[in-house]
Amino acid sequence: MLEYLVDLNGTQAAIRAGFAARSANVTGSQLLAKPNIAAAVATAIEMRAQELKVDATYVLAHLKAIFEADIRDVLTRRGTFKPLEQWPLLWRQILQGVDFEIITAGKKRKQSVVRVVRVRLPDRLRVLELIGKHVNVKAFVDRHEHSGGDGGPLPTTPVYVIYSDKMKPPDMK
């Protein structure tokens, strides 16, 4: 059970637990189907989420913060990037890449300044898509509403079944 918590992969968990690699797919699946193991895994996952304080609300709040991050937080009035140590924590966490330029100056070029030249940020449309797919938002869940003209109820047509005496169900007289 503990091996499954490493990567939530039943096959790999079975292999790490010492089962044969050839049958690990079936073994992992069979073990996870056992009620006592499934319950233990669910409990362990829940405990880990509580320990980390990560739940659906946490994820949604962080996605929202990433989507709403304002580039002005990391720019100077001249439009150049501030030094990284002046960036808010959120911006430092969401960076996917940074390109620097080292400028040397001063007597005998002993002073150097590191300047941020370019940053790679998360794809905002992808972040918005993740927000929309979130369990509490469900913006992309297909909803099908059936209604008649002008939004009213669907028209219904009564159906009459006529039985001959020989074909009537026994409870009808």
The whole-number pLDDT of residue 73 equals 94
Q: Is the pTM of this model over 0.95?
A: no
The verdict on 92 and 30 lying in the same domain is: no
Count: domains in the chain? 2
Q: What is the mean pLDDT of residues 143-167?
A: 69
* 123 lies in some domain: yes
* 24 lies in some domain: yes
The verdict on 61 and 110 lying in the same domain is: yes
The verdict on 23 and 60 lying in the same domain is: no
The whole-number pLDDT of residue 77 equals 93
The verdict on 59 and 48 lying in the same domain is: no
The whole-number pLDDT of residue 162 equals 65
Query: Per mean pLDDT, which range of 83-87, 91-95, 140-144, 151-155 is the poorest?
Result: 140-144
Domain that holds residue 107: 55-140
18-76 pLDDT, tens digit each: 999 999 888 888 888 888 888 888 888 888 877 877 778 888 899 999 999 999 999 99
114-124 pLDDT, tens digit each: 788 888 888 98
Contact 72, 44 (CB under 8 A): no
